[in-house]
Structure 1
């Protein structure tokens, strides 16, 4: 094995590591990639690259993008990422940070990660109040009408957001759901400029929420930290007073996952 790592450092990827290194490069890119775009990075023959991509796709680790030529993380690679993020040592510290900010704000706080169809709740600390909104760990929620989802959309490059917008179904979920694509585009631009997102009865009637980004070491949004509350207790104006507390906790979480 040490010889394998030495070969990799010299640009010669050992056969038994090629698929792993390919998956690493796809995940690192952060956008769908084609086999030819990784040719120089991996220094592998074109037929070998295509064979590796086909193998990873067949096994569910990669998934072909809508253009039919490029690939992104498949369901098994995304699940691998979630399982890695949920490793016991990392999760213990992460929950401590999450619990601290939840106690400071006095409302339920969540960490969510993006999947292909929406945001998935990875961790959650409940409020002590008897009146609470149930969105358990593992719940998937839409991008367009949730605070966590809109924060993720705001992190996308313009071309990828436009691609999402062109195919998205903006169904009515709450009384204030944005169903007009141009209005959603303006909302995402506002979110991008101010650095946090909001949900004012857009996902669910009677609920408000705000979210801030958590970054990887390349300044990409890998997850979000959010807080939500029933309007009977806190409206969006009151909840938005906690943006700085959320940003401080998100900074701690960013340092944790990149340490």
Structure 2
């Protein structure tokens, strides 16, 4: 039961308020307003808004596309990954990626969503001589990548609608989906089939597929992908690796959540 503002303010020590707020945001798991997050904490309205402002200013939270809600920013996501990825976890994670890359013969990566794009968390290159070389810190806009489409498919219809109306679907190649209706159809199909595809939409000559890594509430936390040059393979051949990709995804999920 929510207490009145003054008693709750005294009940929660000052040095715990930010931690408890972050805990509540993680529990909710979707873009959240200060009012919604405060239903459990019961802090005075000025206090909860001050906490959100502090977290936003320091790079832990970012304002969502509706202008009212907040979601984890890169600094908070990196913090969460660091907590989960002890040296042992990193070692095993790399081993899973290396085994997958060896079995499918192509480059494999774990990719996470940031505010406007997907960013790489970890990557194992293929040992074959022909490969796609991307910058270490590259960022792929959501509509251009297999992983980004998966992330978009995880949004609620309301949030995806706001995204598609607000964003500019910039063309990176002649194959990039820049028509909102075409992208919407692709996202609906991605949700239905459970994996994302990229057919030269970010870089000409590169195809990719991706599957989600989910938390215990079946929320997307990152993706696992395979990418390859079209000189060696095509999208249909990559899709044939889905069973092996899903097995590796299950191993990575178990590694993080258990």
TM over 0.5: yes
Give the Cα–Cα distance (whole angstroms) in 2 for the partners of residues 173 and 66 of structure 1.
23
Aligned to 2:32: 33
Aligned residues: 248
Give the Cα–Cα distance (whole angstroms) in 2 for the partners of residues 83 and 140 of structure 1.
20
Residues 137 and 219 (structure 1), Cα distance of their counterparts in 2 relative to 1, 3 Å cut: farther
Aligned to 1:154: 153
Contact map agreement 1:122 1:138 (CA 8 A) in 2: no
Name the SS for the 1:38 alignment partner: helix
Give the Cα–Cα distance (whole angstroms) in 2 for the partners of residues 169 and 100 of structure 1.
38
Q: CA deviation at 1:144?
A: 0.2
Contact map agreement 1:62 1:77 (CA 8 A) in 2: yes
Deviates more, 1:249-258 or 1:128-137: 128-137
Q: How does 1:175-194 map to 2 (within 5 A)?
A: 175-194=174-193
Cα offsets for 1:30-83 (capped at 9, x unmatched): 322222212231133333322322322232222233444332223432332343
Give the Cα–Cα distance (whole angstroms) in 1 for the partners of residues 235 and 124 of structure 2.
20
Name the SS for the 1:33 alignment partner: coil
Aligned to 1:83: 82
Cα offsets for 1:66-110 (capped at 9, x unmatched): 444332223432332343354422211111111111111111001
Residues 21 and 203 (structure 1), Cα distance of their counterparts in 2 relative to 1, 3 Å cut: same
Q: CA deviation at 1:192?
A: 0.6
Deviates more, 1:117-126 or 1:164-173: 164-173
Aligned to 2:101: 102
Give the Cα–Cα distance (whole angstroms) in 2 for the partners of residues 48 and 177 of structure 1.
45
2:165 corresponds to 1:173: no
Aligned to 2:112: 113
Name the SS for the 2:109 alignment partner: strand
Give the Cα–Cα distance (whole angstroms) in 2 for the partners of residues 150 and 37 of structure 1.
28
Name the SS for the 1:144 alignment partner: helix
Residues 75 and 220 (structure 1), Cα distance of their counterparts in 2 relative to 1, 3 Å cut: same
2:50 corresponds to 1:51: yes
Give the Cα–Cα distance (whole angstroms) in 1 for the partners of residues 65 and 195 of structure 2.
29
Q: CA deviation at 1:137?
A: 4.4
Residues 235 and 183 (structure 1), Cα distance of their counterparts in 2 relative to 1, 3 Å cut: same
Contact map agreement 1:124 1:137 (CA 8 A) in 2: no
Aligned to 1:239: 238
Residues 133 and 58 (structure 1), Cα distance of their counterparts in 2 relative to 1, 3 Å cut: same
Q: Which consecutive unaligned segments of at least 5 residues does structure 2 have?
A: 1-10
Deviates more, 1:54-63 or 1:119-128: 54-63
Q: Which consecutive unaligned segments of at least 5 residues does structure 1 have?
A: 1-11
Aligned to 1:5: none
Give the Cα–Cα distance (whole angstroms) in 2 for the partners of residues 121 and 45 of structure 1.
39
Give the Cα–Cα distance (whole angstroms) in 2 for the partners of residues 53 and 232 of structure 1.
49
Give the Cα–Cα distance (whole angstroms) in 2 for the partners of residues 210 and 67 of structure 1.
29
Contact map agreement 1:124 1:136 (CA 8 A) in 2: no
Name the SS for the 1:212 alignment partner: strand
The normalised TM-score by structure 2 is: 0.90
